[in-house]
Each structure stands twice: as structure tokens, then as C-alpha cells.
């Protein structure tokens, strides 16, 4: 009788077996959010749950951006924007504590640490979350293998890794990031072409100080390359080659004022949302500032001389006006939420101004802006827009843009577009779509077609036009944790 009773209990168990694919910032945000609520969520009705994190690279918890690298490779945002705990703006600043003083950006008045230091924050947060989950009865383990396939059996999902092992799962969360830079100019394998710039500590090691270097791109990765070359004492010519020549805007000193109108809560209450409504909410934030002047300044991003614009933005780091600050915060908080609610015509309008939108949403930090300005003024750095092609001639690269540029080294600072499928996950994504567990969104990314599948980060289908930042990833991770807890 007693034995039979035990058997019934065992059969009734609904053991949660959560598989997290990818072990970068998104996985950390997910573990942190899963650990946040004490109780027995991991136990199902009885017995313990398991969480398996699959990550083949040595950069566990750090992902592509936050592994060991040069000190000049800095986080791109002030601490309030770098918290991996959604809704807790002070979480990262509290972890940083006194260490922040060593890394103060004088112009911004905020600590900006090397990205490797931020990686320690992610690793510490993951370890604390794992300990907290352990106390709640979960068993968390890391599987150092690439996931190649997820399929369903009658009762469960099965996660298959490259080594052929199969792991049962009740739910799967894809946290696979955005992958590596595309090779837009067909230069892979050419000597002197640095196909993926990170870690810059390794890639720039083979670049002699006096060599001429061309960087493809003019966004934040290109800025990382330029400031790192400068930090290593580069004396040769540096050229930023791109189609648009648009540089990222420059962060302004954060102020205490939080948006009151252009907030996710306010937008959620609107039901259908249009760009005009968002502009009205933005106008309400501006108080006595002139909206039309602000918009004219913004729309000049793609036509004005980028060097003069950079100079003006450096001078405006302390400017008290709120417009740019509000827009930057909203791009990462309201933006990912509202994007899907906008009518297609409004989304198309924003896409037409993609360069402007990306450059205002993902600004460079003032310390890097000052380095760029110094190099531009000294004539060592030039910006060449209109890039069309790059060829190799007698061991030298020849880049055809608004000017012809030659260089011994070309650094690929082009980022994959948002919602790109990382090369490492192509077979995994194929298996999900072939088995009907997910579908491809027409404008990129993946949409779960089964409630047991979740996506966090850049691969989220139909997501916004800018790549995920930490606040966006953290918010998605918190939402995914809620659905994982109550499948």
C-alpha cells in the first residue's frame, strides 16, 4: 500500500526542466529574474526543478561583448542603464560601489568601466542567482556545448548538443545573442583583414603602430577600434569607412529627471499607438523646449558634417535640455515595447531614418568622443562616407568611397543587423522552424509557436530596429522568467 502511494506521487510530479541556450547577459538576466521570487516555483507540484545553461564558449556569463579585453574597451552607457535586473536601476551601481571612482568619466560625471569589469558583474550576478535558486530547490548546471537542435517528443522537448547528447526539457529559452559581423565586402581570409575585431587585445596585436588602418563602419564598434588603436600609441593613418559617415551621438550628463509621459506604462494604456501619439508624449516631456528645433537638429544627423556635429555635441554634454536624454532613455525602455504596436507605415518611416535613430539611441561615451575629436583635429583620423567596395591590390587594400583610400589593415566593425540568426545557431533555428516550434518573422528573428519556447535578446522576431541593449535584454528576461514560472 505504502509503495503504491509513493508510485502515485512520482507519476504526478511535474518536474520543470528549463533549458537556457546561450550563457551571455540575457541568460544572466533570466537566471536573476528566476531567482527573484522565493518559494517553490522550481518544484512543480513536488520534487526539484532543473535549469541547464548551454554555453560552448569560454566567455560564460559575459557573452561576446564583456570578455577580457583592453582597458580602452569600455561599457557604452552610464550605470543606471547597465543594470541586468529589470526595474532596479541601482543594481549594477551598487555592485560597482567604490570601484566606480577609479573609472570616472570626467565629462559624463559617471563611472564607465572596461567591459571586462562589467563581465565580472554579470558573472557575480549569475553565481548569486544560481546560489539563490539552489536554496529554493532548483538544480542549476552549465553544459559547455553548442545546441544544434530542439525537437518535441510526445511529452517533452529534447535539446540536442553538438556532441550528440540529448537533454530532456519542459521549456526552452533561446538567449543566443546576435552573432558575429557579416563580411559585406567579401574579404574573409585576406591577409590584413580583421574579420571580427573582438577581443581587440588580440586582433590589434598584429597591427604595427605606423600602419595605415581602415575601419569598416562608423558606429560604436568602430569607435572602440579607434580609441583602442590610440591607447596602444598608433601613429599611422586611421580611416573610418562607411556608407553614411554618421557617427553615434554623444551621451550627455545624466540628470535626476525620469520621463513622466513617454513611459511604457503610459504607452501601454493607449491601446493602438501611432508615431504622432509618441511625438505628443515626447512634446509633453520637453516643457519649455522647442520640439521643432529639436527635431530639425535631430534630422540634420545624416546631412550635417559629422566632425562639426561631434564638436558641438561634446560642447553640449552639460547642456541642461532634456530632449536627447529622454529620447535615449525611451529608445531602450519604451522602444522595444512599442515597436510592435506601431502601424507598419510608422515603422517604415522610422526605418527610413535608421542611421539617425541608431546614432541617437546608442550614443558614444564622452571620453571616447574626446579621443576621436583629438585624432580628427590632428588629422590622424578621417571619415570617408559613400563606401562602395574594397579590393586588394598588391597586398594593400583599396577602398572606394567618396575618396579612394588605401590601407594595410582593414578592421570589420560592421555589426550584424538586429534579429539576425547567429551562425552558431543556424541549425538550431532550422530545427525549431521545421518542427513547428517557432516561425521566422518576415522582418527577421524568431516567433515561438509553442508556449514552451521563449526567446530573449536580439533574436526576438519583429523586434525593434536597434540591437538589444542591456535594459532591453533585462526587461525581456524578466518577462520570459514570468512565463517560465507559470507555463
Ligand X SMILES: Cc1cc2nc3c(=O)[nH]c(=O)nc-3n(C[C@H](O)[C@H](O)[C@H](O)COP(=O)(O)OP(=O)(O)OC[C@H]3O[C@@H](n4cnc5c(N)ncnc54)[C@H](O)[C@@H]3O)c2cc1C
Residues 6 or more apart whose Cβ sits within 8 Å of residue 394: none
Number of residues that bind ligand X (CB under 6 A): 38
Judged by CB under 6 A, the stretch of 21-29, 263-271, 399-407, 479-487 that binds ligand X is 21-29
- How far is Cα 367 from Cα 104, in angstroms, rounded to an integer? 10
Residue 385 interacting with ligand X (CB under 6 A)? no
Q: Which residue has the cell 522647442?
A: 290
Judged by CB under 6 A, the stretch of 18-26, 91-99, 151-159, 436-444 that binds ligand X is 18-26
Q: Which residue has the cell 541586468?
A: 84
Interface residue with ligand X among 52, 301, 371, 469 (CB under 6 A) is 469
Residues 6 or more apart whose Cβ sits within 8 Å of residue 76: 220, 362, 363, 364, 365
- How far is Cα 195 from Cα 184, in angstroms, rounded to an integer? 10
| Min CB(67)–ligand X separation in Å | 9
| Min CB(143)–ligand X separation in Å | 9
Count of C-beta atoms within a 10 Å radius of residue 441: 16
By beta-carbon proximity to ligand X, the closer residue of 225 and 384 is: 225
Residue 470 interacting with ligand X (CB under 6 A)? yes
The footprint of ligand X on residues 210-229 (CB under 6 A) is 221
Residue 428 interacting with ligand X (CB under 6 A)? yes
**What letter does residue 90 receive in the DSSP assignment?**
T
Interface residue with ligand X among 16, 107, 147, 327 (CB under 6 A) is 147
- How far is Cα 462 from Cα 443, in angstroms, rounded to an integer? 6
Judged by CB under 6 A, the stretch of 172-180, 269-277, 295-303, 388-396 that binds ligand X is 172-180
CB 180 within 8 A of CB 196: yes
By beta-carbon proximity to ligand X, the closer residue of 21 and 169 is: 21
| Min CB(396)–ligand X separation in Å | 28
Site string for ligand X, 32-61 (x = CB under 6 A): ----------------------xxxx-x--
Residue 358 interacting with ligand X (CB under 6 A)? no
Residue 139: beta bridge partners? Answer: 50
Interface residue with ligand X among 49, 259, 445, 457 (CB under 6 A) is 457
The phi, psi pair for 204, rounded to 5°, reads -80, -10
Report the candidate in 10, 234, 28 with the shortest Cα–Cα distance to residue 119: 28
Residue 361 interacting with ligand X (CB under 6 A)? no
| Min CB(235)–ligand X separation in Å | 26
Q: Which residue has the cell 569589469?
A: 117
Cis peptide before 392 (omega within 30 of 0): no
Residue 24 interacting with ligand X (CB under 6 A)? yes
- How far is Cα 471 from Cα 474, in angstroms, rounded to an integer? 5
Residue 398: beta bridge partners? Answer: 391, 406
Report the candidate in 482, 483, 480, 486 with the shortest Cα–Cα distance to residue 27: 480
By beta-carbon proximity to ligand X, the closer residue of 301 and 468 is: 468
By beta-carbon proximity to ligand X, the closer residue of 41 and 228 is: 228
| Min CB(151)–ligand X separation in Å | 14
- How far is Cα 200 from Cα 229, in angstroms, rounded to an integer? 9
Site residues for ligand X per CB under 6 A = 21-27, 54-57, 59, 63-65, 75-77, 82, 146-147, 175-178, 198, 221, 422, 424-425, 428, 457-458, 467-470, 473
Amino acid at each position: 500500500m505504502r509503495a503504491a502511494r509513493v508510485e502515485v506521487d512520482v507519476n504526478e510530479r511535474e518536474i520543470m526542466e528549463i533549458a537556457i541556450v546561450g550563457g551571455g547577459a540575457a541568460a544572466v538576466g533570466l537566471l536573476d529574474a528566476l531567482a527573484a521570487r522565493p518559494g517553490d516555483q522550481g518544484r512543480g507540484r513536488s520534487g526539484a526543478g532543473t535549469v541547464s545553461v548551454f554555453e560552448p564558449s569560454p566567455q560564460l556569463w559575459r557573452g561576446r561583448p564583456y570578455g577580457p579585453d583592453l582597458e580602452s574597451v569600455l561599457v557604452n552607457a552610464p550605470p543606471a542603464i547597465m543594470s541586468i535586473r529589470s526595474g532596479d536601476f541601482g543594481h549594477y551601481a551598487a555592485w560597482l560601489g567604490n570601484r566606480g571612482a577609479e573609472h570616472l568619466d570626467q565629462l559624463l560625471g559617471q563611472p564607465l568601466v572596461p567591459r571586462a569589469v562589467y563581465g565580472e558583474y554579470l558573472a557575480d550576478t549569475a553565481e548569486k542567482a544560481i546560489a539563490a535558486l539552489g536554496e529554493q530547490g532548483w538544480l542549476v548546471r552549465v553544459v559547455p556545448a553548442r545546441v544544434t537542435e530542439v525537437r518535441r517528443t510526445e511529452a517533452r522537448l529534447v535539446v540536442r548538443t553538438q556532441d550528440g547528447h540529448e537533454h530532456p526539457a519542459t521549456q526552452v529559452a533561446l538567449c543566443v545573442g546576435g552573432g558575429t559581423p557579416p563580411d559585406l565586402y567579401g574579404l574573409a581570409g585576406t591577409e590584413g583583414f580583421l574579420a571580427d575585431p573582438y577581443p581587440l587585445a588580440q586582433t590589434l596585436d598584429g597591427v604595427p603602430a605606423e600602419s595605415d588602418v581602415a575601419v569598416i563602419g562608423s558606429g560604436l564598434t568602430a569607435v572602440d577600434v579607434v580609441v583602442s588603436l590610440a591607447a596602444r600609441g598608433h601613429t599611422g593613418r586611421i580611416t573610418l569607412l562607411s556608407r553614411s559617415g554618421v557617427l553615434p551621438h554623444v551621451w550627455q550628463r545624466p540628470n535626476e529627471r525620469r520621463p513622466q509621459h513617454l513611459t511604457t506604462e503610459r504607452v501601454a494604456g493607449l491601446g493602438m499607438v501611432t508615431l504622432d501619439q509618441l511625438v505628443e508624449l515626447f512634446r509633453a516631456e520637453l516643457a519649455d523646449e522647442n520640439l521643432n528645433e529639436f527635431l530639425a537638429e535631430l534630422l540634420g544627423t545624416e546631412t550635417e558634417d559629422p566632425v562639426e556635429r561631434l564638436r558641438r555635441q561634446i560642447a553640449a554634454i552639460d547642456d541642461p535640455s532634456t530632449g536627447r536624454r529622454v529620447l535615449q532613455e525611451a529608445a531602450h525602455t519604451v522602444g522595444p515595447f512599442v515597436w510592435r504596436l506601431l502601424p507598419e507605415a510608422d515603422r517604415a518611416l522610422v526605418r527610413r531614418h535608421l542611421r539617425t535613430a541608431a546614432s541617437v539611441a546608442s550614443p558614444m561615451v564622452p571620453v571616447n568622443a574626446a579621443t576621436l575629436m583629438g585624432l580628427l583635429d590632428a588629422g590622424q583620423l578621417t571619415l570617408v562616407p559613400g563606401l562602395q567596395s574594397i579590393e586588394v591590390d598588391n597586398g594593400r587594400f583599396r577602398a572606394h568611397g567618396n575618396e579612394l583610400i588605401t590601407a594595410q589593415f582593414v578592421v570589420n566593425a560592421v555589426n550584424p543587423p538586429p534579429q539576425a540568426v547567429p551562425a552558431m545557431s543556424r541549425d538550431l533555428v532550422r530545427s525549431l522552424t521545421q518542427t513547428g516550434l517557432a516561425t521566422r518573422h518576415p522582418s527577421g528573428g524568431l516567433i515561438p509557436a509553442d508556449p514552451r519556447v521563449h526567446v530573449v535578446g536580439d533574436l526576438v522576431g519583429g523586434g525593434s530596429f536597434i540591437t538589444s541593449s542591456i535594459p532591453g535584454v533585462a526587461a525581456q528576461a524578466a518577462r520570459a522568467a514570468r512565463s517560465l514560472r507559470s507555463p
